[in-house]
Amino acid sequence: MSNIARQKTSAASESIKAVAIYEIVKGVGALLSAGALWLWHSDLEDWLATATHSWQQYFGQLLAPQVESVVAIAQRASQNWPLFLLFICAYASIRFIEAYGLWQDRTWAYWFSVLGYGIFIPVEVYYLITTPFDWFKLFIIVLNIIIVIVVYRNMKRKGLI
């Protein structure tokens, strides 16, 4: 194998590993959320009020819509916390399984990533257009598009499509 071909393979492998690490980060974040829900489900209203106040004190209106959204979800979660805990753990498991598959260069993980990220892009674009502009939403859409492109290019390179 030529040196250029090795570099292309190596770069593709590294980019897929970056996506896998991103999946691990999302899974760990979900587990941290599950732990917080487990520990504070009975005092969640007080904790959310304190956390929201602290956020506004230090960051002002930065990411205010996202903070409000997280607070609303957490309030719903505290009302039926065992079910939400199960859902969060299932989500984290999927993220870890996908990360493992990508890291191990499994074909199914490539398809899972492209379809899993690609299916939400039209929905995200719709919400970006129909709701007030939000830099965070734009960042997420761009990140998801980049992930789809990276995985798709690696799939083409491997001859999967």
The whole domain housing 29 covers 3-158
**Residues of the chain falling short of pLDDT 70:** 1-12, 41-42, 44, 58, 60-64, 77-78
Identify the pLDDT of residue 62.
66
* pTM greater than 0.85 (yes/no): no
- Kindly give, in sequence order, each residue whose CB lies less than 8 Å from that of residue 128, ignoring residues fewer than 6 positions away: 134, 137, 138, 141
Identify the pLDDT of residue 63.
64
The total domain count for the chain is 1
Identify the pLDDT of residue 23.
94
- Kindly give, in sequence order, each residue whose CB lies less than 8 Å from that of residue 89, ignoring residues fewer than 6 positions away: 30, 31, 34
Question: pLDDT for 17-36, tens place per residue?
Answer: 999 999 999 999 999 988 88
Question: pLDDT for 105-120, tens place per residue?
Answer: 898 999 999 998 888 8
Do 115 and 94 touch, CB atoms closer than 8 A? no
Identify the pLDDT of residue 92.
95
Per-residue b or e along 145-154, where b marks 16 or more CB atoms closer than 10 Å to that residue's CB: eebbebbbeb
Identify the pLDDT of residue 18.
93
Identify the pLDDT of residue 128.
84
Identify the pLDDT of residue 75.
73
Do 108 and 101 touch, CB atoms closer than 8 A? yes
Do 74 and 45 touch, CB atoms closer than 8 A? no
